[in-house]
Amino acid sequence: MPNHEIYMQRAIELAELGKGSVSPNPMVGAVVVHNEKIIGEGWHAKYGEPHAEPRAILDVLNSFSNGEELLRQSTLYVTLEPCSHHGKTPPCADLIVKYQIPKVVIACRDPFEKVDGQGIAKLKGAGIEVIEGILAQEAAFMNRRFLTRVKQHRPYIILKWAQTANGYFAPKDQAQQWISGMAAKMLSHRWRSEEDAVLVGTNTARIDNPQLNVRDWKGRNPKRIVIDKNLSLSQELHLFDRQAETIVFNAKKTEWNNSLKYIALENFDLYLPQNILFQLHLMDIQSLIIEGGVKTLQLFIDAGLWDEARVFKAPIYWENGIKAPELKNIPQKEEQIGKDILTTYFNN
């Protein structure tokens, strides 16, 4: 009996290589197995480019002179149901049928309305054996950003902040004061490279003057988002340096000027988090890190609009200050990052 979990785990590892490059598509990995040996691998590497399945099939064809014959005797493992519609690339299900791969093992179905079972139906209709549900939870967790966008029609939201060992977030006078260490800073920049956008509020933009880029990590910069109701922020701030796309949610004007986009929200103070997320969903932003101050973080916490929280706790103590947000959720993970402790929470 083949060990489906081993091959699917490899497909998940391959899928992860697309993190930060495939949004708003899902991350997908695929392996081709012949006589208990992997003979082809592929993953979706960049939005608009070939999907995992054709890359894995091409890997077989390029590696073996009798590749087509081997495919007719192989099993394809894929982390997500093969697509059945024409998008930026042809349907993967059609390619699988073309090369007569006799068995396809899938981790989980694609809930996107143009796929959702239709890829599987096309495979079965061609006489291909389909096995579903292998490492489904692991594959769904990996694609939690995509699944949140499709099912909840909003970006996947990650809250991130640092606090002292006794729970303080910032000095009482709101002056800028760094809490976590360099290792935490580098990790934060890596996270930015993996997500679509990062958001701050007016006070954080004014006091910290953040660049919100990945200068301490190799990768692409996220979109920058700031909440500035009355457009009071100085244009001299780093956020307005045109080095990355910047979106300003406000109550005054809607105006798009190349990489700088102003979006006015009606009834600004009414359902603000919901309205922001709706606009971002329309802009195909699949994931969002919120790095704002306590007010901004609490706004989304109170609305229940967050999926994951990453909290750095530094080994320092302050006598007073502004208290950090408190989550009632049970911590899911703790790890040492330099001198700091990183605690991860999930809102489920």
Which of 281, 256, 279 lies closest to 266 in space, CA to CA?
279
Which of 308, 314, 269 lies closest to 290 in space, CA to CA?
308
108 is in an annotated binding site: no
Active site residue 68: no
Question: Torsion angle, CA of 242/245/250/254, rounded to 10 degrees?
Answer: 90
191 is in an annotated binding site: no
Spatial distance between the Cα atoms of 146 and 7, rounded to a whole number of angstroms: 23
Secondary structure letter of residue 191 according to DSSP: H
- Which amino acid would we find at residue 86? H
224 is in an annotated binding site: no
**Token pair 């701030």 is at which residue?**
237
Print burial letters for 189-217: b (CB count within 10 Å at least 16), e (below 16): bebbbbbbbbbbbbbbbbebebebbbeeb
In the set 13, 16, 36, 53, the catalytic residue is 53
Print burial letters for 44-55: b (CB count within 10 Å at least 16), e (below 16): bbeeeebbbbbb
41 is in an annotated binding site: no
CB 2 within 8 A of CB 132: no
215 is in an annotated binding site: yes
71 is in an annotated binding site: no
109 is in an annotated binding site: no
As annotated, the binding site for substrate includes: 192, 212, 215, 291
Catalytic residue numbers read 53
Known binding residues = 51, 83, 92, 162, 178, 192, 204, 208, 212, 215, 291
* Annotated binding-site residue numbers for Zn(2+): 51, 83, 92
